[in-house]
A and B are shown apart, each in its own frame.
Chain A
């Protein structure tokens, strides 16, 4: 049973560019959340997707957008990249309602984004 997978592992972009990060949730999971972890900080919640809709959003600008597909995989898009967007981006998935681990989030290995 594969866990949460993310691609790519590393990415280097320049200011003003756009980037797309991808996430496949753990088998049996239908909710995907994205977190940004700046160097030396704890992860910060960006948004959460369920049934292909954004359900909750953290304190991030509209430059951050996402999508969820029918197979529950998800994308995080960041437009007009800033130097401050350099971070580890973590995807987390949660089990379908009714499962014993419904209240637990499983994290992927992350995508390290560097903006030059």
Chain B
């Protein structure tokens, strides 16, 4: 069984400040891990993914995440927040082919960026 816990349902930062969104996962098999962003009234857009290659993953819009197996974490960071980063962010885990790559999502973290 797999699960994802996102710590903090709401994170507020100032424009230009560091963004840190936390994600911890539980998986009985080596996981694939994903971060998605969702803007109001839209679907999900993939920011980045970890698929057992490099542990530091770079994504779109300046975001990156580091896979830490010992901490079962996959936190999302961005050095400098922009107003356009305000959105809901979801961390998700999937297994390998045997799971048909079904995604299990966390409950999401709403990021607000203050001017």
B51 interface neighbour in A92, A103, A105, A110, Cβ under 8 Å: A103
Cα(A43)–Cα(B41), bound, Å: 14
Known: A42-B90, A43-B90. Contact between A107 and B45, CB under 8 A? yes
Q: For B104, what are the chain A residues with a Cβ–Cβ distance below 8 Å?
A: 45
Cα(A105)–Cα(B102), bound, Å: 9
Cα(A109)–Cα(B34), bound, Å: 18
Cα(A112)–Cα(B92), bound, Å: 22
Interface pair A90/B44, CB less than 8 Å apart: yes
A105 interface neighbour in B41, B90, B101, Cβ under 8 Å: B101
Asked if B43 is at the interface of the complex by the 8 Å CB criterion, the answer is yes
Number of A interface residues at 8 Å Cβ cutoff, please give it.
Answer: 27
Interface pair B108/A107, CB less than 8 Å apart: no
Number of B interface residues at 8 Å Cβ cutoff, please give it.
Answer: 25
Q: For B49, what are the chain A residues with a Cβ–Cβ distance below 8 Å?
A: 103-104
Interface pair B102/A33, CB less than 8 Å apart: yes
CB within 8 Å: A-B pair count? 58
A4-22 with Cβ < 8 A to chain B? 4
Interface pair A90/B102, CB less than 8 Å apart: no
Interface residues of chain B, those whose CB is within 8 Å of chain A, are 4, 32, 34, 36, 41-46, 49, 51, 90, 92, 94, 99-108
15 extra interface residue pairs, beta carbon distance < 8 Å, beyond A42-B107, A109-B42: A35-B103, A40-B108, A42-B105, A45-B103, A55-B100, A56-B100, A90-B43, A103-B32, A103-B49, A103-B51, A104-B34, A105-B101, A107-B36, A107-B45, A112-B41
28 CB < 8 A contacts A-B:
A31-B100, A33-B103, A42-B90, A42-B106, A42-B107, A43-B44, A43-B90, A43-B103, A44-B105, A45-B102, A45-B104, A48-B100, A48-B102, A50-B100, A56-B99, A58-B102, A90-B43, A90-B44, A92-B44, A92-B103, A94-B101, A103-B49, A103-B51, A106-B46, A107-B36, A109-B42, A109-B43, A110-B42
Interface residues of chain A, those whose CB is within 8 Å of chain B, are 4, 31, 33, 35, 40-45, 48, 50, 55-56, 58, 90, 92, 94, 103-110, 112
